[in-house]
């Protein structure tokens, strides 16, 4: 397959390597074989004419809750901050999520992501309980396989409940640590792949180290994950109250707590980390512990703006996640990177300065469009452990998004390459390739009837609202 005559490309790599003067990409056997200008088409190759289009590596979404794709814009929680929102939305409605609902929600979420140009999806699924009559993990892997996406299951784990969950039905009670360990071993043996360009991976992912598991269980869980050769993930420091809770419970900061319990390292990444002290950022950087940065959800819930630029500057891996659609009603990667780029520039400018010439805005350029693309592609692949994924370069997986700039919002751009990040709104996805296979063409996913999917979603929402 030959992609020819692109108007611009961003490679996903860092620094000067983010840009290339290539207009063509040759794909063979699912891998990028050549990049350049006026490349010849091999005999029998399909040629994709990318005239007036821009080409990106497929986005890597490192933190989602796909089941929440049926919980967008719930009126009772639309203006809530995190804790009341947890009560009024995900905890209230989780009783509805049987195997059929999880399959529908996962399909909606993955279709939304694919049509934004996302090729790798990590889902933090935490609806597990003893004696479940269906296999949620298998459902998620099956949906991803049918749609052709790379998929990583961040397998939730809880042996404790939050105070606000105490009255949930018995069939939603937490698991035992032995039950979690047994299922992790099963999932790792069945689904976890290693090596270049893996298609499926598994991680151990308690919702939060503070309240989802007992302190004495953290080290054994970390040791289990490392024995199995899988990554670890959790929410951390999403709100100020999280820091207060950590000090109250353990007399230390959250990152200090997880570090003491072997939950740091290049095989660990945390979602959010909105509120970090300088000493915590140093620990994260020194141990190469990763961040799944979720700027839209953090804004939607009023949690704040995470110090992703500062963490990146220190050397810690930074990636982008859309979080659940119940706290981010636009759970796609295009809106996520656009908001990320704007939020950090605005945040830099909001710092006060006594100098009248406006030095308070200094530092807004710490986040560039190319840098955000790097976080959301190569950065995500690194955090998740997907080798050979997330960049446009020879030898990398042919996970490629080709965007058409045929909407008026893109007319007049002097630098078309940065359009998907800076212009806002989703450009038409002309082609999306995963391992060199076309998975989206002209915004259409083979086998997906959007009208039918919308009808099923409306029916589910009505059912949820009436019971």
pLDDT at 219: 98
Q: What is the pTM of this model?
A: 0.96
Residue 61 contacts residue 334 (beta carbons within 8 Å):
no
Output the six-digit token pair for 278.
């300088």
- Answer yes or no: CATH 3.30.9.100 is held by domain 59-384: no
Longest dimension (CA), the chain: 68
Q: Whole-angstrom Cα distance, residue 140 to residue 126?
A: 12
List the one residue out of 7, 9, 3 whose CA is nearest residue 373. 9
Residue 443 contacts residue 114 (beta carbons within 8 Å):
no
Q: How many alpha carbons fall within 13 Å on the CB side of residue 356?
A: 0
List the one residue out of 122, 200, 191, 124 whose CA is nearest residue 156. 124
Residue 150 contacts residue 386 (beta carbons within 8 Å):
yes
User: How many other C-beta atoms lie within 10 A of the C-beta of residue 412?
Assistant: 6
Q: Which long-range contacts (CB under 8 A, 24 or more apart) does 188-193 make?
A: 188/228, 188/229, 188/230, 191/137, 191/141, 191/153, 192/228, 192/229, 192/230
For the segment 106-125, what is each residue's pLDDT rounded down to a tens digit? 999 999 999 999 999 999 99
Which residues of the chain form CATH 2.30.40.10? 2-57+391-441
Q: In the 8-state DSSP scheme, what is residue 20?
A: -
Sign of the torsion angle spanned by Cα atoms 101, 104, 108, 109: positive
Instruction: Enumerate the H helices of 302-414 as residue ranges.
Output: 308-314, 333-349, 369-374, 380-384
User: How many other C-beta atoms lie within 10 A of the C-beta of residue 195?
Assistant: 7
User: How many other C-beta atoms lie within 10 A of the C-beta of residue 260?
Assistant: 14
pLDDT at 350: 77
Q: Which CATH superfamily is domain 2-57+391-441 in?
A: Urease, subunit C, domain 1 (2.30.40.10)
Q: Whole-angstrom Cα distance, residue 57 to residue 337?
A: 14
- Counting every residue written for the chain, the total comes to 467
Residue 268 contacts residue 274 (beta carbons within 8 Å):
no
Q: Which residues contact 190 (CB under 8 A, 6 or more apart)?
A: none
Which residues of the chain form CATH 3.20.20.140? 59-384
Full pLDDT tens readout for the chain, 467 residues: 999 999 999 999 999 999 999 999 999 999 999 999 999 999 999 999 999 999 999 999 999 999 999 999 999 999 999 999 999 999 999 999 999 999 999 999 999 999 999 999 999 999 999 889 999 999 999 999 999 999 999 999 999 875 544 566 755 688 999 999 999 999 999 999 999 999 999 999 999 999 999 999 999 999 999 999 999 999 999 999 999 999 999 999 999 999 999 999 999 999 999 999 999 999 999 999 999 999 999 999 999 999 999 999 999 999 999 999 999 999 999 999 999 999 999 988 876 555 555 555 667 788 999 999 999 999 999 999 999 999 999 999 999 999 999 999 999 999 999 999 999 999 999 999 999 999 999 999 999 999 999 999 999 999 999 97
User: 3-state class of 78 per DSSP?
Assistant: coil
Phi-psi region of 262 (alpha: psi -120 to 50; beta: other; left: phi over 0): left
For the segment 181-222, what is each residue's pLDDT rounded down to a tens digit? 999 999 999 999 999 999 999 999 999 999 999 999 999 999
List the one residue out of 233, 234, 158, 176 whose CA is nearest residue 201. 233
pLDDT at 84: 95
pLDDT at 387: 98
Q: Whole-angstrom Cα distance, residue 404 to residue 130?
A: 48
pLDDT at 104: 98
Output the six-digit token pair for 357.
């010439």
pLDDT at 164: 47
């Amino acid at each position: 397959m030959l992609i020819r005559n692109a108007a611009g490309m961003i490679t996903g790599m860092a620094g000067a390597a983010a840009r290339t003067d290539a207009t063509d990409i040759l794909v063979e056997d699912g891998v990028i074989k050549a990049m350049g200008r006026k490349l010849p088409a091999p005999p029998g190759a399909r040629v994709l004419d990318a005239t007036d289009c821009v080409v990106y590596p497929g986005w890597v979404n490192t933190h989602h809750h796909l089941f929440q794709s049926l919980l967008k814009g719930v009126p009772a929680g639309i203006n809530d901050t995190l804790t009341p929102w947890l009560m009024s939305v995900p905890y209230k409605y989780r009783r509805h999520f049987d195997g059929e609902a999880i399959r529908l929600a996962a399909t909606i979420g993955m279709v939304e992501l694919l049509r934004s140009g996302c090729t790798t999806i990590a889902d933090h699924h935490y609806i597990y309980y003893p004696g479940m009559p269906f296999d949620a993990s298998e459902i998620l892997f099956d949906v991803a396989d049918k749609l052709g996406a790379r998929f990583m299951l961040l397998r939730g784990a809880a042996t404790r409940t939050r105070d606000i969950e105490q009255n949930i039905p018995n069939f939603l009670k937490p698991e035992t640590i032995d039950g979690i360990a047994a299922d992790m071993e099963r999932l790792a043996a069945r689904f976890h792949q290693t090596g270049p360009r893996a298609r499926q991976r598994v991680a151990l992912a308690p919702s939060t180290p503070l309240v989802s598991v007992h302190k004495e269980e953290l080290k054994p869980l970390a040791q289990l994950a490392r024995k199995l050769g899988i990554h670890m993930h959790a929410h951390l420091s999403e709100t100020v109250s999280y820091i207060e809770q950590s000090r109250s419970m353990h007399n230390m900061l959250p990152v200090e707590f997880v570090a003491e319990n072997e939950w740091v390292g290049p095989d660990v990444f945390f979602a959010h980390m909105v509120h970090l002290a300088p000493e915590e950022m140093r620990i994260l950087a020194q141990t190469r512990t990763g961040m799944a940065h979720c700027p839209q959800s953090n804004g939607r819930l009023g949690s704040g703006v995470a110090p992703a630029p500062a963490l990146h500057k220190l050397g810690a891996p930074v990636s982008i996640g859309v979080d659940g659609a119940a706290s981010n009603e636009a759970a796609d990667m295009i809106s996520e990177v656009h908001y990320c780029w704007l939020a950090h520039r605005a945040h830099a400018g909001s710092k006060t300065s006594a100098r009248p010439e406006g030095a308070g805005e200094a530092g807004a350029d710490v986040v560039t469009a190319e840098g955000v693309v790097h976080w959301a592609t190569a950065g995500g692949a690194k955090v998740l452990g997907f080798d050979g994924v997330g960049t446009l370069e020879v030898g990398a997986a042919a996970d490629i998004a080709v965007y058409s700039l045929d909407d008026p919002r893109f007319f007049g751009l002097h630098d078309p390459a940065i359009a998907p990040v800076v212009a806002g709104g989703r450009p038409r996805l002309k082609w999306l390739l995963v391992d060199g296979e076309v998975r989206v063409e002209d915004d259409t996913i083979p086998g997906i009837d959007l009208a039918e999917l919308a009808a099923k979603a409306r029916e589910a929402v009505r059912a949820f609202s009436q019971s």
